[in-house]
Structure 1
Amino acid sequence: MDRNFIIRLMLLLGVALQGESAKLPSFLKVCYRDSPNLNTCARQSFEALRPRLMEGIPELFIPSMEPLVVPQVKMDQDSGAIYLHSVYRNVKVTGISKHSVNELRLEPSKLKFIVSLTFPKLHMESAYSIKGKIMMMPLLGDGHCQVDLINITMRTELIGQEYQKDGANYLKMNEVNVKYELSDVKIHLDNLFNGDKALGDRMNEFLNENWKALAEEVRPLMTRALKDILSSSVDKLFSSFSYDVLLPKGKGK
């Protein structure tokens, strides 16, 4: 994940960046906060943008989402049944284009933005380095990894607060709530235990057999990381564009 993911999220919510200082592509659909059809507009905006989002939108500095490339992800945990220090580099995620929208709702009176997406399958590949213990079993490796997340649903809720800057209304995020559920996980780590095939095969088998318990162990870590990333990126976006530019008033039909 990176800051561009949040810009894509705002586009999924139907937010059109407009204003005198910006020249926007003609394909962006504007949604007005006082329209009774706001959420319908948001859905239409998303559907119109979906093909371009997959290919990337250079005008908005948005890279391709298929695949989505993340330079580096760090995951460290030293509590519960897991003690791990791990780094994943050049992470490539495919399958994002196959998502469906479960919920896409804007509540301007509450300054609330909600989006829920389901991905039938996300496939991730990266170089990895990992050291630690899982359920008292040592884990050591440095190589290539593949992970499939099956039927994953992610729901994000953003709640903002207005403030004044340079005579205009801006938003800052007071709350960022993220929840996710998934049906299955398939994982394979190459070159575990310095290339010991027997030990590596047994560990991969253990990880796949116990993925549910392991997923719950790392859930607080994953949720906290997602919230931190979302908060930082959304605040940067909202500090650059006023609320009236992001979600203008008027033409509320």
Structure 2
Amino acid sequence: MKVLLSFVFGATLCNVYGLTLPSYMKQCSISDPNVNECFKTSGNNALESVLKGDRKYKIIKMNPLELPKVDLNSGGTFTMSLKDAVIKNLKSTKILNANIQANHWEFEVSIDPMIIESQYEINGRILILPITGNGPSKITLEKGIYSYVVDLKTIEKKGVEYLAIDKSNLEAKLGHVRFHFENLFNGDKRLGDQMNTFVNENWEEFLKELYPAMVKIMRTIVDNTITGYFSTIPKKDVYAA
């Protein structure tokens, strides 16, 4: 499984540091009894600005988010890739809950719907049926609840402490997923319509094949966004003691 995100997140390799917290973010105190609510409120208030992108902090534009190529190969019964993928409606992102400790952060986030439009290529079998095709596609992830957990570590740059990601994980619970693939079976409309119907009637089984790659993509996007801020803002300015 390959996810070509280095192109869009390549700016995170630049040596920029020693910045202050951006004006659209409020600093919270870890020792505050209401720290969870503070992170939740501050995060929700900042999301619009974050999604617009902020070159100063090495954050790319994410509304919409454009990815040149994504391979959704699970090692299962089919291979699937998306080219020129555009992820839309991230502006609907809302932080529902936060659980914050100094070196361990947890967030529960809703996005409804998340829409992925791309040029797809697929080949293999879905359940008992063969599938092949390439062309425009649309995947709509409805009523999505995403749980992101990250463990942090402290690193030092020129005598100043910065936060960095030690390990992270992302899980998704989806109310429904809709798929539409054009030009299946070399443009055979009858077979293409039947396969689209079959995929959508069995969307949960189809999603199982795509799920590992999809959540890895989402986790990488979140990791790189957080790293953009962590790598440029000293730890003492990210949150207060």
TM-score interval, normalised by the smaller of the two chains: 0.7 to 0.9
Contact 1:69 1:93 in 2 (8 A): yes
Q: Does 1:220 align with 2:212?
A: yes
Q: After TM superposition, list the pairs within 5 Å mapping 1:1-253 onto structure 2.
A: 2=5, 21-22=18-19, 25-79=22-76, 83-108=77-102, 111-164=103-156, 166-227=158-219, 238=230, 241-249=233-241
Q: Which moved more, 1:42-51 or 1:224-233?
A: 224-233
Task: Show structure 1 runs of 5+ residues with no match.
Answer: 6-18
Matched residue, 1:13: none
Aligned-partner Cα distance in 2 for 1:55–1:239: 19
Aligned-partner Cα distance in 1 for 2:64–2:73: 25
How far apart are residue 77 of structure 1 and its match?
2.3
Aligned-partner Cα distance in 1 for 2:157–2:51: 34
Aligned-partner Cα distance in 2 for 1:165–1:65: 28
Secondary structure of the residue that 2:75 maps to in structure 1? strand
Task: Show structure 2 runs of 5+ residues with no match.
Answer: 10-16
CA RMSD of aligned residues (A): 3.2
Distance 1:47 1:153, change over 3 A: closer
How far apart are residue 126 of structure 1 and its match?
0.8
How far apart are residue 225 of structure 1 and its match?
4.9
Secondary structure of the residue that 1:47 maps to in structure 2? helix
User: How big is each residue's C-alpha offset from its partner over 1:3-22, in whole Å with a ceiling of 9 and x where there is no partner?
Assistant: 779xxxxxxxxxxxxx8x32
How far apart are residue 150 of structure 1 and its match?
1.0
Aligned-partner Cα distance in 2 for 1:77–1:134: 12
> Aligned residues: percent identity?
26
Distance 1:69 1:229, change over 3 A: closer
How far apart are residue 164 of structure 1 and its match?
4.8
Matched residue, 1:12: none
Matched residue, 2:14: none
How far apart are residue 91 of structure 1 and its match?
1.4
Contact 2:72 2:210 in 1 (8 A): no
Contact 1:121 1:150 in 2 (8 A): yes
Distance 1:244 1:178, change over 3 A: same
Contact 1:176 1:230 in 2 (8 A): no
Q: Which moved more, 1:37-46 or 1:173-182?
A: 37-46
TM-score by length of 2: 0.80
Distance 1:191 1:212, change over 3 A: same
The aligned amino acid for 2:82 is: Y
User: How big is each residue's C-alpha offset from its partner over 1:89-135, in whole Å with a ceiling of 9 and x where there is no partner?
Assistant: 22122222223322122211xx1111111122122211111222221
